[in-house]
Amino acid sequence: MDRLSSTPVLPRRNDDVTQLGMVWEQVKAPVIVPLLRIAVFLCLAMSVMLFVEKVYMATVILAVKLLRRRPETRYKWEPMEDDMERGSAAYPMVLVQIPMFNEKEVYQLSIGAACGLSWPSDRLIIQVLDDSTDPAIKEMVQVECRRWASKGVNIRYEIRDNRVGYKAGALKMGMKHRYVKDCDYVVIFDADFQPDPDFLCRTIPFLIHNPQIGLVQGRWRFVNADECLMTRMQEMSLDYHFAIEQEVGSSTYAFFGFNGTAGVWRIAAINEAGGWKDRTTVEDMDLAVRASLKGWKFIFLNDLGVKSELPSTFKAFRHQQHRWSCGPANLFRKMVVEISKNKKVSLWTKVYVIYSFFFIRKIVGHIVTFIFYCLVIPATVFVPEVEIPMWGLVYLPSVITMLNSVGTPRSLHLLVFWVLFENVMSLHRTKATLSGLLDLGRVNEWVVTEKLGDIMKTKLPTKAAKKPRVRIGDRLHKMELFTGAYLFFCACYDLKYGKNHYFLYLFLQSITFFIVGFGYVGTYIPQS
């Protein structure tokens, strides 16, 4: 009786599986296969565009190095010299703006570095724009400003009644003070940036001797790049951005996106461009594009490094990447027509800005990474009728990866980790990019990147004896876990039934998604 009563169960299960298989086969040929082939074609097309862009930039950089086309050889530059007759009047008036928001850990470092710039004290104004909402922090910043003022530094502590426009609003308000009218140039340093004393002496001469120059941008150097593996990955990406992307823009079209800090602007260029605007989360790039459309040229100084801090917690890094991905896409949406109709710049410059600067780097680069490597390739393990050519699967991605890594030779041994981590971050960048393009969701969300300063040096030794208090909800990241589960399932299926050995990559990528999804990435900050 037991055997007879149990026998009907297996056929039902087999029938269910058979029916699902039949439905899959009926849908696969007319619907799934064509759609997946279209997706593969589009991804391969975007990969080719990205490959051509990377090779083009590598060629330009090679030519710049071989021909030694340094900014000093392309533009007039003479060192600042004291004039016995004019005295300090030989130096132009310079305004240094330091925007802040609850920067408890780093405010002393940035203010101290700005006040230590080598420039006549009567020709320099330090302006601390404090938008802090914590009264205790505001008091500490104000005390620090008074301390430097007592040493003879012309430092101004400025606050406002609201945070309208966030950083752009603070910078715009700072330019309205009466004493700014005496200044010719303005330097911007975010709260975690520490310029060397000779920063102004190396940048201002370009602006003095070349009236067409509107911006001189320095390069970021990272004081905490070795803090954890995540900061090493960031260093690789940002070194490529500065050493390659910014250098190419500066050398070929005298245009690149202002990085929002460690740069010197000609105030006349800011005014002619329409001043600061808060319509996107990339007010720096917005200003740069508008200024370039007015005919102003930019210079990037690759050998002028300014110390700064990388976000070392995953939460801070994710917020930063959302802003950096959503903002450019949203700005592209708002300015593409204005750029195409502009008559003050050449056709090739417009093509460069629209196609290379915006479309390839800010949109295609993010979307193809996630869609192709995390969705389309894994999906093909279920549809063997759809094949991906080896050149698009291995050769092009390998060349692109190697070209991306040239900015940080010391981290070449981390290349595999960097690729896997960048694929994980492409999930957030793609989501943010689409939000910017469609003007949806958190398109105007502004979250200030958390800075730690010396907190890890002071807190870790005292907290080492305690077990970290981990709140599971704070560490779990659902999108990463869901994507990791999808990739793991694809890998298992490919291991069992596939013939292309995709599972070797899929298992590694799924593990990376799980590591990030469970919060085991970045620096852990001990709770007090």
The CATH number of the domain holding residue 191 is 3.90.550.10
State the total domains in the chain: 1
So what's the pLDDT on residue 407?
Answer: 86
Amino acid at 127: Q
Q: State how far the Cα of 401 lies from the Cα of 415, in Å rounded to an integer.
A: 8
So what's the pLDDT on residue 468?
Answer: 43
So what's the pLDDT on residue 24?
Answer: 66
So what's the pLDDT on residue 524?
Answer: 65
Query: Residue 154 domain-assigned?
Result: yes
Q: Is the pTM of this model over 0.85?
A: yes
So what's the pLDDT on residue 1?
Answer: 44
pLDDT digits (tens), the chain, 528 positions: 444 444 454 556 566 667 767 776 777 778 889 999 999 999 999 999 999 999 999 999 999 999 888 998 999 999 888 777 777 888 999 999 999 999 988 999 999 999 999 999 999 999 999 999 999 999 999 999 999 999 999 999 999 988 899 999 999 999 999 999 999 999 999 999 999 999 999 999 999 999 999 999 999 999 999 999 999 999 999 999 999 999 999 999 999 999 999 999 999 999 999 999 999 999 999 999 999 999 999 999 999 999 999 999 999 999 999 999 999 999 999 999 999 999 989 999 999 999 999 999 999 999 999 999 999 999 999 999 999 999 999 999 999 999 998 888 899 999 999 999 999 999 999 999 999 999 987 788 777 777 776 554 544 444 443 444 445 556 789 999 999 999 999 999 999 998 889 999 999 999 999 999 999 998 766 554
Q: What is the DSSP letter of 224?
A: T
Residue-number span of the structural domain to which 158 is assigned: 88-311
Query: Residue 110 domain-assigned?
Result: yes
Q: Which of 130, 131, 239, 286 is catalytic?
A: 131
Give Cβ neighbours of residue 294 (< 8 Å, ≥ 6 apart): 269, 272, 273, 344
> Do residues 407 and 240 make contact, with C-beta atoms less than 8 angstroms apart?
yes
Query: Residue 337 domain-assigned?
Result: no
So what's the pLDDT on residue 30?
Answer: 83
So what's the pLDDT on residue 266?
Answer: 98
Query: Residue 222 domain-assigned?
Result: yes
Taking phi over 0 as left and psi of -120 to 50 as alpha, with beta for the rest, 450 belongs to beta
Query: Residue 516 domain-assigned?
Result: no
Q: Look up 494 and say whether it is catalytic.
A: no
> Do residues 331 and 470 make contact, with C-beta atoms less than 8 angstroms apart?
no
Give Cβ neighbours of residue 185 (< 8 Å, ≥ 6 apart): 92, 93, 94, 95, 204, 207, 264, 265, 266, 267
Q: Look up 226 and say whether it is catalytic.
A: no
Q: Which residue has the tokens 């500490």?
A: 140
Q: State how far the Cα of 36 lies from the Cα of 384, in Å rounded to an integer.
A: 11
Query: Residue 65 domain-assigned?
Result: no
Q: State how far the Cα of 321 lies from the Cα of 120, in Å rounded to an integer.
A: 38
Bridge-based pairing state of the strands 213-222 and 94-100: unpaired
Residues forming beta bridges with residue 265, ordered by sequence position = 186, 215
> Do residues 70 and 202 make contact, with C-beta atoms less than 8 angstroms apart?
no
DSSP 422-467: HHHHHHHHHHHHHHHHHT-SSTT---PPP--TTHHHHHHHHHTTSP
Q: Which of 130, 239, 284, 494 is catalytic?
A: 284
Query: Residue 194 domain-assigned?
Result: yes
Query: Residue 240 domain-assigned?
Result: yes
